[in-house]
Amino acid sequence: MSKIGVFVCHCGTNIANTVDVERAVASARELPGVAFASEYKYMCSEPGQQMIKDAIEEYGLDRVVIASCSPRMHETTFRKMLKDTKVNPYMLEIANIREQCSWVHTDKAKATEKAIRLIRMSVAKAARDEPLFASSIPIEKRALVIGGGIAGIQAALDIADAGHEVALLEREPSIGGKMAMLDKTFPTLDCSACISTPKMVDAGAHPNIKLLTSCEVVKTEGYIGNFQVTIRRNARYVNHDICTGCGLCETKCPVKTDSEFNHGLSKRPAIYKLFPQAVPSKPVIDKNSCLKLTKGKCGVCEKVCPLGCIDYADEDREFTETFGAIVFATGYELIDWTALYGEYGGGRYPDMLTGLQFERLVNASGPTEGHIVRPSDGKEPKTVAIVKCVGSRDPKKGKSYCSRACCMYAAKHAHQILDKLPGTRVFIFYIDVRTPGKGYEEFYDQTRKDGAIYVRGRISKIYKDGDKLVCNGEDTLLGKQVKVMADMVVLETAMTPSSGIEELATMFGVARDVNDWIQEAHPKLRPVETQVGGVFLAGTCQGPRDIPDTVAHASAAAAKVVSLLNKSEMETSPMISVVRREHCCGCGACEKICPYTAITLEEIDDRVGAKRVKRPIASVNSGLCQGCGACTAACRTGAIDLLGFRNAQILEEVDALCL
Amino acid sequence: MVEIDHGCKCPGNPLLPQICKVIKITEETPDVKTFRIQTLDGKKPFTPLPGQLAMISVLNVGEAMFSLTAQGDDWIESSIKRVGFLTEALHNLFEGDLVGVRGPYGNHFPTEELKGRDILFVGGGIGLAPVRSFIRHAIAHRKDYGELDVLYGSRSYGDLVFKEDIFDHWPKACNTHITIDIEEDGWDGHVGFVPSYLEEKAFSPEGKAVVLCGPPIMITFCLISLAKMGFSKENVITTLEMRMKCGVGKCGRCNIGSKYVCLDGPVFTMAELEDLPDEQ
Amino acid sequence: MKIKKDKFKDALASIAKEAKVFLPMKGVYASEYRVWDGAGEPFFERNTALPPKELLFPRSERMYEYDLNAGTVTEAAPDEKIVIAGIRPCDVRSVEHLDKVFLESEYTDVYYRARRENLTMIAYGCATPAPTCFCDSMDVVPTDAPGADVVMNDAGNSYVLTVNTPKGEHIRDLISSFLSEGKADDVPAVSCSLKVEKPDDLHKQLIARFDDPMWETLSDACLGCGCCSYICPTCYCFDIGRENRGKTGTAFRCWDSCMFSDYSRMAGGHNPRPTKKERLRNRYLHKLAYFPERYGTSLCVGCGRCIDKCPARLDITNVPDIIQGSESNG
Amino acid sequence: MNDNLAKMREAAKRALESGDVGYVIGWGATKFPDKTSPLFMRKPEDAERLVWNEYAIPGIAKYLLDDLYPDKPIGVFVRGCDSRAINRMMKDNRIKRENLRLLGIPCDGKDDERCTICRNRNPLVYDELLWDEAPTPEPKDRYFRANAVEAMSADGRYAYWSEVFDQCIRCYACRNICPACNCKECYVDMTATGFQGKQHSRSDNLIFGVTRAFHVGDRCIECGECERVCPMGLPIMGQTQKILKDINELVGDYESGVDAESENYLGVFDLDDKDEFM
Amino acid sequence: MSVKETNDPKIIAFCCNWCTYTGADLAGLNRSHYPENVHIVRVPCSGRVNPQFILRAFRNGCDGVMVCGCHPGDCHYSTGNYFTRRRFTLMKRLLEYNGIDPGRFHARWISGSEAGKFRDTAEEVTAMVRKLGPNTRYREYARREMSADE
């Protein structure tokens, strides 16, 4: 049997007033496996701890049961204490006879009986305790930030400034993200490019930041501290090592294709920079429109390039790097309203713009150099309808959630129209106006004072009549139908997670919520962490938010990353799941239930009679397992068990209560 | 040709254990411990013959059959390797803890029949445990027997059991040949597997009986080696104690063909085993 | 002696005054020997689904209690008197076989002995063998049971009784008031439809064919369940376990089956009978070869339960058939 | 029937002659005309021993677990129930499709109570179909046992199950035939874990019944083989039917083994699952 | 295994470490009194609770069993209690179906702040179980009257 020491704490009078400690000690002495039992006024005090240590030495104890306050209080204290003794820190059980006994009961006889039972349960469990050893995993002091928008840039800069290497990955040829497209930012109306491009440049030039543009994650293995991420760099066909970004090639390229950056409001060549202030400021070739690459003809850029940077033979290239931490900053995109809102014309009318298209239109560096004109005929609109909540707060057609930033940028758009084209009539159709932010309500007020007309109600139909866009709807405040004959309509559409988020989340084992936003580890207390250790969240990949919130979120994520990377290794709890290979049949029930993708099926060599075979069994990744034990209840055989809370231990507790 | 007594007896209710106390625990190797056991009133639980076994139980866990490796005036001893649930529980015992003991079970090594003959004891790993009782008996009755050789091997030095016996006590009374499987620092003895060492030693089969015990694979190769060296199967003796479960030949597990290891064994000559179905 | 059928229950009532009476009865789901409550009807048309062995060798039986505080073990001592009224001759023979194992071999089993000494068997001569019955091929006479204390045979509106032993005489004395003198007509001979021809040296031939491929074919359809061994009147494998309660507890033994995959597995994992082929072979050989070799008689009594109940319809009579070279099963 | 038998013999013979399969599992005769036994055909001529009649009842898919790593694919005749069993075992990662050669035989229903609740007479997975499918007749009450027990009082239900499990001899035939009971080691065989007492007490028998039902519950393919093989004739489908009935009540149409991909009820969750706990 | 005579029920509560166990601790801090009959077994997550634990508890002498965890959506391990919900919805129904009184088994969501709810639940369950009396089901050694060994 074991040699268990039982130590019952008086906790001053907290326990001793209600529990007859002496009787509890006497009964503990009779329990199977108990070699020593004793009491003390304050077990957690220095002399109390010393008493336990002395008893371990004197009686050769191999495990310890302390009957005291809640383990949530002092389990760590006592584990730490055991580190100096021969007893393994995990050969410790705590019987909670204060919070769950002396404090909640009054009848001393009955409370004493209950304390005796609780101690009996802990002793029975302790008899099945086994030595466990916390392992430490080394931490690769590098972070990977996925997504080069403002969130990714901010997180990368913060981590890099703290002295850690960062790889900033962006699938587009330039970092900058959505913020680079914006004209002005609410509520201060400072120029978006003026505040975001310096950050882009900082990121591009930071000695600790490596930009991985035109790159995508294709595979990942490992866990916190040690992710092996395989990245594909899509072919650029331009050797960025030599290219100076002179731009000659772009001017000579004969191809004109829709500009993504301007959302189709303008054309760009096949060899192009995403936008003039792109970082890196070097062009790439779009293989889908380049004549040389599609038809084998042309080759103009190669001819004009003074440095011979053009390399039509360039290929996608994969490489694997190790990172200690990952930041998701994958951002958002706008919902494809054309597929959902046939009643708005489904995208047939060129003078209906999304918010982002309008941003490009109104942007001084945009296709019209900031002139607000109709894309169809280049005329200035006299009446503009701005429709909010297109795809947001519309569970039937779009998303049930509020996209949070639209109320403010709708106000901003109205303001910009009224500012640039005084006298224009601007109607804003809304469900609610939500302005929770510093200076937001004031900005909204100002917009209304500027002349924007707010109409409460959804637009039910938009159709073309001559060169007017007729917007039918209801003013729900007045309770009557309204019809606006607009020259231009701006749809403030819902934010949705970036395309590709599903694959990426699955790769890292990160959970998504019902709307595919990445699920944070805890909605209140762990808003920048995921339930996968070492994977953090920055910005709108977690849910819609505006720029200040995104930047704050990104800095918070960076702080988490930095505190992780500042450690050289991380101690992992040894209370994790273990598999008995001879019993495991590889059915995979545990694999599906594990919230951390800590369990995978692994082929092992086995023998069936004389035959050597391979068979799958569950295998637990100790770096990922968080010790929740969900797998154990799913395993019919009991082949998977949780150290520290083994089936046998819990059953022993049950049995001990029943004695 | 060795005649083996196949009669087994155990007085009283053979399934009822008597409560005894562990008075001494010796750690032989990292996974083998020797338990010295005595009745609660300080007596020897029973007097086993060399090769006989006891059912030892951790009363609240279970019971299993173990060979008794030694005995004194007021104790019996068993060496137990940790292989499963029960042996794990046994290994967790401390001196002073109570165990259940019943026995003795099984027949015994042919101590009488081999009088006057040379004996070669061959053991591998924990396989020396059942043979130990016979070696101790032969040494205690040294003049009854001819030349005694003990050839014993294990994976490593650390895995050798009964180190005091094999290095200090036994060499005084018999020839000991110790080997380990793989070379290691600080070991200047023989290195190599038991069967090859056996052949190297080139024991003469003349008048010699062999008592062989160890893991199945070692037995297989030792038998090949012994045959090469000219030993007949009639003169090779082994024990099948690991097949015993209830100890009284009733629970149904121990039979090999119509022989019940509990009732007819566990000690057999290889010649006898060869006549049994191949189901070991 | 005779007893009128309408007096049978009265006679049982007299016996029940001093012993627990078990009768073959129709259960809700399957027939078995049940305690007679003073009213229940006996079920004589077919043999019971469950054999009577559990009255001597219970499915689960407490062997002893241990107390680690006191350092004691306390042996259980079953002492209840039991009378089985209506046990079939094949099952009586099975008890004789169990006696050999538990009483007559090297070690006597005290629990079995206590129960056996307290048992009186009133056999019921079998007039209606089932299609799966083949006891007359296994040297059992369906209408007679020399091993029983009393044998009773159906004779129209009465039963004819034959007393074999002193225990039987005691029963006769208990029920004497219901008995009438008189000799019955000769009990008509009963013959099973399933016939098994087996050579006298069947066990020798079987052991010689230990490595024969037939075992694989025979065990193909085996599911590895313990059905055949649990309903077999002569299977007696057991396991010993314990129910621990702190420092005290009970050691019990319970039925086990050699057909289970974990049955012969030893600590450390080695299993000398690793697949169903070895396990089925062992069971068949135990019945037909090993037991005869050791005790001079076949352990199979031909009750046919295993044939009737096997989920895969494995048939032990195929074994002698193969040996006889007269396998009728295609 | 005879036509079909000829087709089956032909298919088995062809498969064995081609050497593509190691053996073929079907049904063979016994000494008793009203009973068949699973038959393993290894040589082409063995095909002549195949039978197909109203007594070809035993489920044969479970035998695939005896030979998990065959050198050649195993041929199996599959009725609807066998095919669901195979889907079940494939879903549980126990057998591999490439090791199977499935000879589909639409079933005409057997004279057996459990066949009255059959929902798929036609095989759902097969390599070739030996004859044309015919529609499955409207099944009788899918939960006939569970409904009957549910109608009892709590005491009545306990008495009912006590009577049932008092008769249970723990032979585990139900487990061994059940395609959902496909663990490498069954929990009942691991007494050391303490989940199942080995005693044949009423409690341990009842606990065996409930635990087995819970282990199988959401994966039960409703073939009813557990009841067919029970030597005591116990109505044990009553336990699994209850679980299936509840699942169907909780999340709508749910059936196991119809394919090898659908998730098990207890292996996934829905945020909007019914919450009966306060 | 004799059924105890007193009507002082033993109730076992499997409580998740993060919510209900904390809630129970808070009940202690608040000095909220509840019956001595409730005994908590600490588990990391309600998803750790194997239904077989419940059977074992009844078998060996508990009169009532509780499984308590975080409210859906609040699981420390994000999804554990969703599985708990599915698993024990079925298990509770299955137990009732097998004749275990619904008053003997309870699954509850109790958060770390719901000390009051913990106390109320403990009181309610104890009262219910006390009314039902000692549990006899799943704790019968004998099958039916078969032989002397009972």
All residues of chain C having their beta carbon less than 8 Å from the beta carbon of residue A656 are 246
Q: Say yes or no for a CB contact (<8 Å) between C34 and E149.
A: no
A53 Cβ neighbours under 8 A, 6+ residues apart: A81, A84, A85
Interface contacts (A, C; CB < 8 Å): 16
Any domain includes B1? no
* Beta-strand relationship, A425-430 and A453-456: parallel
Buried b (16+ CB within 10 A) or exposed e, D106-115: bbeebeeebb
pLDDT value of residue B133:
92
Q: Does residue B280 lie in a domain region? A: no
Nearest CA in chain A to E16: A628
Each residue's pLDDT tens digit, C88-112:
999 999 999 999 999 987 788 899 9
Q: What is the mean pLDDT of residues C106-133?
A: 91
Query: Distance between alpha carbon A200 and the CA centroid of its chain, in Å?
Result: 22
Cβ-defined contact of A654 to E80 (cutoff 8 Å) = no
Question: How close is the nearest chain A Cα to the Cα of D37, in Å?
Answer: 26
Residue A561: closest CA among A213, A133, A168: A168
Tokens of D250: 């909780």
For the ranges B190-204, C308-322, D44-58, the lowest mean pLDDT is seen at: B190-204
Which residues of chain D does E128 touch, with a Cβ-Cβ cutoff of 8 Å? none
Ranges of chain A with pLDDT below 70: none
Tokens 């240590």 map to which residue? A53
Structure confidence at residue C330 (pLDDT) = 38
**CATH number, domain with residue B92:** 2.40.30.10
Give chain A's contact residues with B (Cβ, < 8 Å): 1-3, 32, 35, 60
Task: For residue B66, give the DSSP letter.
Answer: E
* A543 Ramachandran zone, left/alpha/beta (phi>0; psi -120 to 50): left
Please check whether residues B133 and B162 belong to one and the same domain. Answer: yes
User: What is the Cα–Cα distance from A519 to A543, expressed in whole angstroms?
Assistant: 9
Interface confidence, given as ipTM, is 0.91
Length of chain A as a residue count: 659
Evaluate if residue D110 carries a pLDDT over 90.
no
CA distance B73 to chain C (A): 22
* Residues B100 and B125 occupy one common structural domain: no
Cα–Cα distance, A110 to A102 (Å, whole number): 10
Say whether residue B86 is in contact with chain C using an 8 A CB cutoff: yes
Distance in angstroms (rounded) separating the CA atoms of residues A637 and A584: 7
C55, C76, C243: residue with CB nearest E147: C55
- Distance (Å) from the C-alpha of residue E148 to the closest C-alpha of chain A? 26
Phi-psi region of A366 (alpha: psi -120 to 50; beta: other; left: phi over 0): beta
Please name the residue of chain D whose CA is at the shortest distance from the CA of residue C250: D199
The answer to whether residues C89 and C135 touch, using CB atoms and an 8 Å cutoff, is yes
Cβ <8 Å between D68 and A615: yes
Q: Could D173 and C29 be called an inter-chain contact, meaning their C-beta atoms sit closer than 8 Å?
A: no
Contact D8, D25 (CB under 8 A): no
On chain E, the residues whose CB falls within 8 A of the CB of C52 are: none
C183: contact with A, CB 8 A cutoff: no
Percent of the residues in chain B that have a pLDDT greater than 70, as a whole number: 96
For chain A, say whether C69 makes contact (Cβ under 8 Å): yes
DSSP A582-624: TT-----HHHHH-TT--EEEEEEEEEETTEEEEEEEEEE-TTT
Predicted local confidence at residue D192, as pLDDT? 74
Of C102, C251, C294, the CB nearest to B258: C294
Q: Are residues B215 and B175 in the same domain?
A: yes
Q: How confident is the model at residue D2 (pLDDT cuts 50, 70, 90)?
A: confident
Contacts of residue A444, defined as CB under 8 A and 6 or more positions apart, other chains included, come to A407, A408, A411, A433, A435
Burial of D137: CB neighbours in 10 Å, binned 0-12, 13-18, 19+: exposed
pLDDT exceeds cutoff 90 at D82: yes
**Mean local confidence (pLDDT), C40-66:** 91
Q: Are residues B99 and B123 in the same domain?
A: no
Does B4 contact A at CB distance below 8 Å?
no
Chain C interface test: which of E143, E149, E150 (most C C-beta within 10 Å): E149
Domains and CATH numbers, chain E: 11-132 (3.40.50)
- If asked whether residues B48 and B86 sit together in one domain, one would say yes
Mean pLDDT of D54-77: 93
- Best residue of C68, C69, C244, C247 to probe chain A, by most A CBs closer than 10 Å: C247
What does the mean pLDDT of chain C come to? Answer: 89
- For D167-211, the pLDDT digits (tens) are 999 999 999 999 999 998 899 988 777 788 888 889 999 999 999
- Of the pLDDT bands very low, low, confident and very high (cuts 50, 70, 90), residue C327 is very low
| Alpha carbon separation from E46 to A72, C203, D272, E83 (Å, rounded) | 17, 59, 18, 9
Q: Which residues of E92-117 are buried (b: 16+ CB within 10 A; e: fewer)?
A: bbbbbbbbbbebbbbbbbbbbebbeb
Q: Which residue has the tokens 């906790």?
A: A11
- Give the number of A-E residue pairs with CB atoms closer than 8 Å: 129
C247/A656 CB distance under 8 A = no
Which residues constitute the domain of residue B144? Answer: 118-239
SS3 content of chain A, % helix, strand, coil (to 5): 30, 25, 40
Q: Decide if C68 and B60 are in contact by the 8 Å CB cutoff.
A: yes
Question: Residues 26-55, chain D: which have Cβ within 8 Å of E?
Answer: none
B13-66 residue pLDDT tens: 888 888 999 999 999 988 999 999 999 999 999 888 898 999 999 988 888 889
Chosen for mutation from B40, B41, B245 (greatest number of chain C CBs closer than 10 Å) is B245
Q: Could B251 and C256 be called an inter-chain contact, meaning their C-beta atoms sit closer than 8 Å? A: yes
Q: Are residues B135 and B64 located together in one domain of the fold?
A: no
Q: With an 8 Å Cβ cutoff, are E53 and A654 in contact?
A: yes
Element (H, E) at A440: helix A440-450
Residue pLDDT, tens place only, C2-39: 888 888 999 999 999 999 999 999 988 989 899 998 88
- pLDDT tens readout for residues A459-471: 999 999 999 999 9
> Hey, are the CB atoms on A105 and E36 less than 8 Å from each other?
yes
Q: How confident is the model at residue E4 (pLDDT cuts 50, 70, 90)?
A: very low
pLDDT digits (tens, 9 = 90+) for E72-127: 878 888 889 999 999 999 999 999 999 999 999 999 999 888 999 999 999 999 99
Q: Do A658 and E57 make contact, defined as CB atoms within 8 angstroms? A: yes
- Give domain status of residue B110, yes or no: no
- Would you state the pLDDT for residue B85? 82
Domain boundary among B45, B70, B105: B105
Is B82 in contact with B91 (CB distance < 8 Å)? yes
Closest by Cα among D61, D43, D178 to D126: D61
B114-156 pLDDT per residue, tens: 888 899 999 998 989 999 999 999 999 989 998 899 999 999 9
Query: Chain A residues with CB inside 8 Å of B92's CB?
Result: 1-2
In this complex, do B94 and A32 lie within 8 Å of one another by their Cβ atoms?
Answer: no
Distance from CA of D195 to the nearest CA of E (A): 7
The distance from CA C85 to its chain's CA centroid, rounded to whole angstroms, is 15
Q: Return the half-sphere exposure (C-beta side, CA atoms, 13 A cut-off) of residue D21.
A: 25
Q: Tell me how close the Cα of E45 comes to any Cα of chain D, in angstroms.
A: 16
In chain A, residues with a C-beta closer than 8 Å to the C-beta of B97 are 1
Instruction: Using CA coordinates, name the residue in chain C closest to A33.
Output: C247
Q: What is the pLDDT of residue E1?
A: 39
| pLDDT for residue B10 | 59
In order of A59, A145, B37, B81, D221, the CA distances from B24 in angstroms are 17, 62, 7, 16, 57
Distance CA B145, CA B139 (A): 9
Closest CA to E1 of E137, E147, E141: E141
- pLDDT recorded at residue B1: 65
B86 shares its domain with B134: no
Give me chain B's average pLDDT, please.
88
Residue E148 pLDDT exceeds 50: no
Mean of pLDDT values over D4-14:
94
Total domain count for chain B? 2
Residue D177 sits at the chain C interface (C-beta within 8 Å): yes
What's the rounded Cα separation, in Å, for the pair A540 and A496?
Answer: 9
> What phi and psi, each to the nearest 5 degrees, are found at residue D41?
-100, 120
Question: What subunits touch chain C, counting only 3 or more CB pairs under 8 A?
Answer: A, B, D, E
pLDDT of residue B7: 62
C-beta atoms of A30 and C275 within 8 A: no
Chain E meets chain B (3+ C-beta pairs below 8 A): no
Q: Are residues B89 and B168 in the same domain?
A: no
Query: How many whole angstroms separate alpha carbon A638 and alpha carbon C241?
Result: 20
User: A634 and D190 in contact by Cβ < 8 A?
Assistant: no
Q: Does B210 lie in the same domain as B168?
A: yes
Domains of chain A: 4-127 (3.40.50), 134-234+316-331+498-569 (3.50.50.60), 236-314 (no CATH), 335-496 (3.50.50.60), 577-643 (3.30.70.3270)
**Angle (deg, nearest 10), helices E80-97 and E51-60:** 40
Percent of chain E with pLDDT over 90: 74
Per DSSP, what are the bridge partners of residue B98?
B21
Provide the 3-class DSSP secondary structure of residue C160: strand
**Contacts C–D by Cβ distance under 8 A:** 123
First to last CA, chain D: 57
Amino acid at B118: D
Q: What is the pLDDT of residues E21-54, one digit of tens each?
A: 999 999 999 999 999 999 999 999 999 999 999 9
What is the pLDDT confidence band of residue D45, given thresholds at 50, 70 and 90? very high
Which residues in chain B have Cβ-Cβ distances shorter than 8 Å to C105? 249-250, 263
Q: Which secondary structure element, helix H or strand E, spans residue C24, and what is its range?
A: strand C20-25
Residues of chain A contacting D190 with CB distance shorter than 8 Å: 583, 637-638
Question: Which residues from chain A sit within 8 angstroms of residue E62, using beta carbons?
Answer: 654, 657-658
Q: Tell me, yes or no, whether B57 and B132 share the same domain.
A: no
Inter-chain CB proximity D38 and C220 less than 8 Å = yes
pLDDT tens digits for A505-559?
888 878 788 899 998 887 778 899 987 889 999 999 999 999 999 999 999 999 9
- For the residues of A379-412, what is the DSSP string, one character each? PPPSEEEEEEEESSS-TTTS-SS--SSHHHHHHH
Burial class (CB in 10 A: 0-12, 13-18, 19+), A63: buried
Which residues are CB-contacts of A624 (< 8 A; sequence separation ≥ 6)? A223, A224, A509, A532, A533, A596, A597, A598
